[in-house]
Amino acid sequence: MEVSHSVKERTIAENSLVILLQGLHGHVTTVDLRDESTATGRLTNVDAFMNMRLAEVTFTDRQGTVSHLDELFVTGRNVRYVHIPDEVDIRATIERQLQAIHRVRYFGARDKGRKEFPRAKHK
C-alpha cells in the first residue's frame, strides 16, 4: 500500500509492527475487536494509529449475529488482535514496507537539496 505522506506516520510505522499491518493491504484479514466482535474482510488501509479500513466484511457481533458490511472502519484503540493470513510471509512483508519508506525518504524531495546518490547500504 501507499506509504504515508506524513513524516510522523512513516516514523511510527517504521518503529512498530503497524508496518506489518500496512503490508497486508489487499489481503483478507480477520480482526478481533475489543468488544469481542470480529470482522473479516479485505484490508484496504491501515494508518500509523492502527485505524483500519476493510471492504466486503463479514461482521460477527459480540452476541454472535452475523452481518455483511460493504465497508468498515475500526479505530486502532478498538482492535484487540489481527490474524495475519497464513499466506503472508511476515518478514518479507516488513522488509518490503521498510524499503518503500526508504524510497520515499531518499528520493521524495530531491529538489530540496537532498543527497541524490543512494547510500551503499540501500542498493
> Which of 83, 110 has the CB closer to other proteins?
110
Q: Which residue has the cell 497486508?
A: 24
Site for other proteins contains 42 (CB under 8 A): no
Site for other proteins contains 90 (CB under 8 A): no
> Which of 83, 114 has the CB closer to other proteins?
114
Residue type, 94: I
Q: Which three cell numbers stand for residue 13?
A: 510505522
- Helix H or strand E encompassing 83: strand 79-83
Site for other proteins contains 80 (CB under 8 A): no
Stretch that binds other proteins, among 21-29, 30-38, 81-89, 90-98 (CB under 8 A): 30-38
Contact 66, 59 (CB under 8 A): yes
Site for other proteins contains 30 (CB under 8 A): no
Site for other proteins contains 73 (CB under 8 A): yes
Which residues share a beta bridge with 82?
31
Residue 34 DSSP one-character state: T
Site for other proteins contains 82 (CB under 8 A): no
Residue type, 42: R
Q: CA 102, CA 91: separation in Å to the nearest integer?
A: 17
Interacting residues with other proteins (CB under 8 A): 5-8, 11-12, 15-16, 18, 33-35, 47, 49-51, 53, 57, 59, 62-63, 65, 67-78, 100, 103-118, 120, 122-123
